[in-house]
Amino acid sequence: MKFFVDTADTAAIKELNDLGMVDGVTTNPSLILKSGRDIIEVTKEICDMVSGPVSAEVVALEAKAMIAEGLKLSKIAPNIAIKVPLTWDGLTACKAFASEGLKVNVTLCFSAAQAILAAKAGAAFISPFIGRIDDIHYDGTDLIEDIRIIYDNYAFETEILAASVRSVNHVIDCAKIGADVVTAPPSVIKSMASHVLTDKGLDQFMKDWAKTGQKII
């Protein structure tokens, strides 16, 4: 499974990237707002840091304007993936970009039917938002499983990019189902290293080591 980091915080991306934990980055208008930086400037910095795909999202709602914005974003760096919403206009833009050999991340997916359309329009990535589905009292990972079955049935090459990931359990469930990519905030990725029994065991080791009176260095 590939890990994308869902943030525009360059310091957080660098920390994880230096450990080999970053296969790509996803951003969106909300994350750009949180960064407080110019979208072109911060996206360029991220692209220079990370070798994998960096999703940069259009903000237009009509296909023609989406295509104009997407083409501008694509010029930031060769590893840009243009992010478009899963609307009919978004699918139209997706098809146009894919026809030019550009990577497209189709976002805000909430149904398997939508995922089929994105794959047929040439999306490189489909982004089902599992956390937001959980918010309305359904299991978001069920959608990942449905898309995985359909894509495998028909050999669609679109990668399933599980988004709106909010917990370590989300990551584990997506890995078991077979999502190609999971995009998560840095805090979720870092929390994967934590376990109460690891902490307990380390505490005991330190206490026992202190009793030996020894030093390694």
- Residues annotated as part of the active site: 83
Closest Cα partner for 112 from 138, 93, 135?
Answer: 138
Q: CB count, 10 Å around CB of 33?
A: 11
Instruction: Retrieve residue 45's tokens.
Output: 């910095």
- The pair of three-digit structure tokens given for residue 161, joined into one six-digit string: 């990019």
Alpha-carbon distance 96 to 90, whole Å?
10
